[in-house]
Amino acid sequence: PAQAEKEMKIGIFGGTYNPPHLGHMAAAKAAIETLHLDKLLLIPDRIPPHKELPENPVSNQDRLAMTRIMGDRLDCPDVVEVSDIEMHRTGKSYTSDTLEQLRQVYPTDELWLMMGTDMFLTLHQWHEPEVICELAHIAAFRRVEEDICTAMKRQKTQLERQYQARVALLD
């Protein structure tokens, strides 16, 4: 019989990428190495639900192009992909919707949603946090300040209790 294809470990790193910066690159590299990702999807959002775009925002196409440049600079062509999945939507780019779409494309793979400290600490207030935690594990990038570490550990415990989430805190 044909051998089943190995399940992949896929990182999902969304954001406005307005513009992509060295912090995004460092976080992406750390996630690839720490989580041993087979694939990393960089996903610029069309209309971010968590923050306002500036008065004269960079166009979606330019943000997508800048994200592709960042992806190329990560120098992991077999791992890093840029996805325009959220650019085709109308309305806000809700993470739960994106994860549901990605789950259809990758039905048996292990999905890891990556986010920074500020987003992680408010995850329970997002649109459908229970769906997010059901469809993907959470990889949160932790800052080193002690008060932030304590808050992130508290949030990790809360998400694990409330949503049975699997959470990794990455330094």
Helix extents (H) in 88-145? 95-105, 117-120, 129-135
What is the pLDDT confidence band of residue 51, given thresholds at 50, 70 and 90? Answer: confident
Q: Residue 95: count other Cβ atoms within 10 Å of its Cβ.
A: 27
Give the pLDDT of residue 50: 74
**Per-residue pLDDT, 46:** 86
- pLDDT tier for residue 165 given thresholds of 50, 70 and 90: very high
Name the helix (H) or strand (E) containing 60: helix 60-73
**Higher confidence at residue 91 or residue 56?**
91
pLDDT at 90: 86
Full-model pTM: 0.91
Better pLDDT: 67 or 51: 67
Question: What's the mean per-residue pLDDT of the chain?
Answer: 91
Is the confidence at residue 126, as pLDDT, over 80? yes
Between CA 58 and CA 18 the distance in angstroms is 7
pLDDT value at residue 82? 97
**pLDDT band, residue 112 (cuts 50/70/90):** very high
Residue 122 has a pLDDT of: 94
Residue 40 reports pLDDT greater than 90: yes
- Taking CA atoms, 17 is separated from 22, 37, 42, 66, 129, in Å, by 11, 21, 9, 8, 22
Nearest to 28 by CA among 71, 85, 63, 57: 71
Q: What percent of the chain has pLDDT over 70?
A: 94
pLDDT average, residue stretch 94-98 = 95
Phi-psi region of 56 (alpha: psi -120 to 50; beta: other; left: phi over 0): beta
Q: What average pLDDT does the segment 25-49 reach?
A: 93
